[in-house]
Amino acid sequence: MAKPAYRLSVLIPVYNEQQTILEILRRVRSVNIPKEIIIVDDGSTDGTRELLRTHVEGQFDDVAVIYHERNRGKGAAIRTAIAHATGDYVIIQDADLEYDPREYPSLLEPLLDGRADVVFGSRFLGGGPHRVLYFWHRVGNGFLTLLSNMLTNLNLTDMEACYKVFKREIIQSLPLRCNRFDFEPEVTAKVAKRHYRIYEVPISYSGRDYTEGKKVSWKDGLIAIWTIIKYRLTD
């Protein structure tokens, strides 16, 4: 079978993921799509950086590793990776094991057939298996998505999902500034403001709890509210 005539840039922001980074890299590399993988270590202190230097850096032709000297936040790591992307399409992949890279083909489909400019994964559209976790996280996610939809006039079901896929020229043209988890509402507001065609695709979700390394907190929710309002008023 002929190889696809496109290349995917997989951006992996990493912070203190010693237990999962090698496994998520293996899963991403096993997806049969032409791709480059750009890992940005955001100042890890748990041994992740040493793992990358000894087991990843210089070991694979399709993997580049970039280091932040100090922790700057997920959004800052994503911005660094975006600047280095050269593929036709760009997807964001968390370094934990919550999201399944085997779903890349279904996420790419609306882009490849010309329907979409941007694709969001959704954990709430009836996709694959979902681990049952926190009630109040679901409530908070629903509230943030609702507020974002009210101010962007979109009808997304999962604004906060990690999986977002862009035409490379689109994501590289956006004036992104947020440094933390507020990347999600910022990028949503900015693609909405530019009237790009956005699709959602159902995805599975293997969420983890705080004892397993989950990092997002209620403080990030408050920052997200401010970000949603801020980027309704300014670009």
Q: Which two tokens stand for residue 15?
A: 């912070």
Residue 34 has, within 13 A of its CA and on its CB side, a CA count of 10
Nearest alpha-carbon partner for 162 in 88, 82, 92, 87: 92
The structural domain count of the chain equals 1
Q: Determine, yes or no, domain membership for 2.
A: no
pLDDT in tens, 31-83: 999 999 999 999 999 999 999 999 999 999 999 999 999 999 999 999 999 99
The phi and psi torsions of 167 (rounded to 5 degrees) equal -60, 135
Which range is least confidently modeled, 54-68, 133-147, 151-165, 190-204?
133-147
Domain range enclosing 95: 8-233
Which CATH number characterizes residue 76's domain? 3.90.550.10
Lay out the sheet containing 89-92: strands in order across.
63-68, 35-42, 8-14, 89-92, 164-167, 118-122, 198-202
Give the per-residue pLDDT at 230.
81
3-class DSSP state of 67: strand
Q: Determine, yes or no, domain membership for 1.
A: no
pTM, to two decimals = 0.89
